[in-house]
Chains A and B, each alone.
Chain A
Amino acid sequence: MQAKAKYEQTVASQTGADVLMQTLIDEGVDLVFGYPGGAVLPIYDALYKTDLRHILPRHEQGAIHAAEGYARISGKPGVVIGTSGPGATNLITGIADAMMDSLPLVVFTGQVARGVIGTDAFQEADVTGITTPITKHNYQIQELKDIPRVVKEAFHIATTGRPGPVVVDIPKDISGEIGEVDYPETIHLPGYQPNYMPNLLQVRKLAEAMREAKRPVILAGAGIIHSGAHKALLELVERQGIPVVHTLLGLGGFPAEHELFLGMAGMHGTYAANMALYEADLLINIGARFDDRLTGDLQHFAKKAVVAHIDIDPAEIGKNVQTHIPIVADAKFTIEALLDEVTTPPEINEWVFRLKQDRIEKPLWYRKQPKVMAPQYLIEKLHQETNGEAIVVTDVGQHQMWAAQYYPFSKPKKWVTSGGLGTMGFGFPAAIGAQLAAPDDTVIAVVGDGGFQMTLQELSVLQELRLPVKIVIVNNQSLGMVRQWQTSFYGGRHSQSLIPVQPDFVKLAETYDIRGYRVETEEELQEVLSATLHDREPVLIDCRVNAEEMVTPMVAPGTGIHEMIGVKP
């Protein structure tokens, strides 16, 4: 409120850009990621007069991934500004990423002036056209007076229901134009009415199915985290004794140390988790979308199960897996309603015993090699050194899977990764956003040497803001995940996946005034981690790991989740 009052005093006659700033402040925005340019000059001029904190990355892709990391950890919408044309197109990857992983973003793009739209004007791109398939919704502002309404709607749409990115394209002449506007109090969107409360008949049906089940399992996705359902989930599991598996994005929704947790399911999930999904007679999916990396070949997925699917997005239900008990609602409200309906726990001792046995007998495993460090060991060490309490942000590749496997989370909102789109270059900037959302937490960016090189220009942001992000490069001098697939499925022909030529990452860090270390042995690792993970300064640790290492176990493409290879013998 204070910021608002102060702002109103400073602005006598309001331009479109001033109106935009006012609406952002009204929406409670205090942090913006962006990059200026011609079409957003009026917006940056208006921003200059506010107290809004603005983070300038060194590439627009850095801005949007940072906004994603910020949204994932804070639960608040990430706000991004980019200029027209190339500014906007540099944001595309992040927009698509946020769409796939249901992250609330509001992205403002400059556009050329209305008079020249459609003439291939300088730095013109059809942003609404380009972003329509990768946004929850998008707008192009047509008139100054529409700004407050559109921006209010944009925040509403991005943050409610199933969250997602919303793009607002603003022609330059409108942001520069002076005029009077009304700020609407309410939102009128008849075509958008997300449903939060579950249908009680359906909830009862599910409770009934739970009573009768002999082999039930809960598949908990990121919907648990979005809706803040982790406590309710824990209570449900404790009262009913039903085992839980997570999706990649759901990690942290249920405490990993819990005796009923079977691990992550899917392509690189645990044997116990995948067998639970395979054998279950009741599969309760809460807030997951049955992604193909989770299900493996659908012909073998949950074929023996009654499938219950709780999702806020009706279109997810029945999309990939036939569902018998659909519940379109918020995860938390549904679990709470379920808690009122369930009574005595089902008699499933035998089932639970068997799964626990699987978990013990067929755990995640790796072999240490003499002289080279195992990447899995590196992650375990990170876990140990941070007491499992750090925020872990990853890039995409083998290191991502190892982080998911070997850094167990006890709490939600500690895990940031690009799941649906699998975007290399995501991790480091997303860690910057995560650190801004949780300034007091230890944030570790676990990145591959390949992906880090896609967005490492953001080292400058650490340099400038002294953000204490701990960059850990899992350096196998290759595009490890690609190399792994080529080893396994392409006769070992490592086409374009080996990259021994790389910068001296330690010196690179130092040119940005960041401490850099290279680590090759377990002893060095221990020493450097103890010396650098606990202070409030950024650091880059280049960890040389065994390049031959493979992510196991694995559901090979085209096979069912019960046919895992690389399971501990």
Chain B
Amino acid sequence: MKRIVTALVNNQSGVLNRVTGLMSKRRFNIESISVGRTETDDISRMTFVVDVEDEAQCEQLIKQLHKQIDVLKVWDITDQAIVARELVLIKVLSNPQIRTEINGIVDPFRASIIDVSRDSLTVQVTGDSEKVDALIELLRPYGIKELARTGLTAFPRGQQRQVTEMKPYSLIK
């Protein structure tokens, strides 16, 4: 099962290494990781999409992450109301004849064509993973030359408490 886990970490050299090392040491399957600064200096957010066997394995992952001294907070946000987005660049084979056709596919996804050359064009799309996957599938028949995904980044929606106010994962509460 896929789970979305997000963590606030000290923005220090080596933290990504600690976290990915931990995941491979304990044989957790990572589908994607995205890392970037947050509104607070010195703190970064990491968002993982992981493929785990069951809830117990996900719980173990979260506890292991939590144990890292540079990991300040961790949440499994899969079942919460969240905004989750990734950005994908897709280079599709094309020629002037089918450009408009591709435009027609891309438009409803609110994706944009950001580069055009003689025999290809590049589509940029942001969205949740289903939307992105759907677009990729529609474009696949034209021939995908290159594909780059940033991985998902996410946090809970605004009506909820701020992430930083939320209770971190804990067994004792």
Contacts and interface: CB of A to CB of B under 8 A. Distances in A.
A503 interface: no
A526 interface: no
A129 interface: yes
A111 to B, nearest CB: 14
Interface residues of B, number: 24
Interface string A307-327: 000000111011100100011
B112 interface: no
Contacts of A328: 171-172
Interface string B8-46: 011000100110011001000000000000000000000
A319 B26 CA distance: 11
A133 interface: yes
Contact of A191 (B22, B60, B63, B69): B69
Interface residues of A, number: 27
Top-5 shortest CB links A-B: A315-B63, A191-B72, A328-B172, A137-B69, A192-B69
A195 B172 contact: yes
A189 B171 contact: no
A319 B71 CA distance: 20
A109 to B, nearest CB: 15
Contacts of B25: 133
Contacts of A315: 60, 63-64, 66-67
Contacts of A192: 69
Interface in A295-339: 313-315, 317-319, 322, 326-329
A132 interface: yes
Interface of B: 9-10, 14, 17-18, 21-22, 25, 56, 59-60, 63-64, 66-72, 170-173
26 contacts: A128-B14, A129-B17, A132-B14, A132-B17, A133-B25, A137-B69, A157-B69, A189-B69, A191-B9, A191-B10, A191-B68, A191-B69, A195-B172, A198-B172, A199-B172, A199-B173, A314-B66, A314-B67, A314-B170, A315-B64, A315-B66, A318-B59, A319-B60, A322-B56, A328-B172, A329-B172
Contacts of A319: 60
Given A199-B172, A327-B172, A329-B172, 6 more contacts: A136-B69, A191-B70, A199-B173, A315-B66, A315-B67, A318-B59
A157 B172 CA distance: 21
B5 to A, nearest CB: 15
A190 interface: yes
Nearest to A195: B172
A501 to B, nearest CB: 39
